[in-house]
């Protein structure tokens, strides 16, 4: 009987292949654009700008997002170095749409960063705006699978790390 880890890896691979096999050219550009929102330069700039009052009333959310982002990034780097899971291998003829930022896949730093910033900001917004912000944070994680550089499990664990860091950090 296969171990749980082997079975999970098999499911992860099958879901990823199902996603990349259903790519459509009209989504390639938007998915590239969404994934960039979790690049370090973007999320750091956003959190600092919010913390400094770019949008009045969201200063505390910006400070909290910055702390949650730092804690979650530390957790991601520790887990990546312990797990050392390689990036997905796609079938011949199907390529990653973007180049992976490093060689380790687990957990997804972009999925973690996107939700680490989205959760504190969403908590300070109206329900409709909060849903949109969290939806964008989730879409960043989905984009990582669509682009072919993360397994779904990498993204799910990244989201879990973001939620854990957000819960861990008291509101500022």
pTM above 0.85, yes or no: yes
- The domain containing residue 32 runs over which residues? 4-168
CATH number for the domain that contains residue 107 = 1.20.144.10
- Quote the pLDDT of residue 92: 57
Angle between helices 127-146 and 152-168 (to 10 degrees): 140
Q: How far are the Cα atoms of 50, 90, 116, 129 from residue 77, in angstroms, in the given order?
A: 25, 24, 14, 30
- Quote the pLDDT of residue 81: 92
Task: Return the half-sphere exposure (C-beta side, CA atoms, 13 A cut-off) of residue 35.
Answer: 24
- Quote the pLDDT of residue 3: 74
User: Residue-wise pLDDT tens for the chain (172 aa)?
Assistant: 457 666 767 788 889 888 888 889 999 999 999 999 999 999 999 999 999 988 888 999 999 999 999 999 999 999 999 988 888 877 656 667 777 777 888 999 999 999 999 999 999 999 999 999 999 999 999 999 999 889 999 999 999 999 999 999 887 7
- Quote the pLDDT of residue 98: 74
Number of domains in the chain: 1
């Amino acid at each position: 009987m296969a171990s749980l880890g082997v079975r999970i890896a098999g499911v992860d691979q099958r879901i990823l292949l199902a996603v990349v096999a259903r790519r459509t050219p009209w989504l390639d550009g938007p998915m590239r654009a969404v994934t960039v929102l979790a690049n370090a330069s973007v999320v750091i700039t956003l959190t600092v700008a919010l913390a400094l009052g770019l949008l009045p009333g969201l200063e505390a959310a910006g400070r909290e997002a910055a702390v949650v982002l730092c804690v979650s990034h530390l957790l991601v780097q520790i887990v990546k170095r312990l797990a050392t899971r390689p990036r997905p291998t796609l079938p011949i003829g199907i390529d990653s749409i973007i180049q992976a930022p490093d060689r380790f896949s687990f957990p997804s730093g972009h999925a973690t960063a996107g939700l680490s910033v989205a959760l504190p900001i969403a908590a300070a917004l109206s329900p409709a705006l909060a849903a949109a912000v969290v939806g964008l944070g989730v879409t960043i994680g989905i984009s990582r699978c669509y682009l072919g550089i993360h397994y779904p499990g990498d993204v799910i664990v990244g989201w879990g790390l973001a939620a854990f860091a957000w819960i861990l950090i008291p509101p500022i």
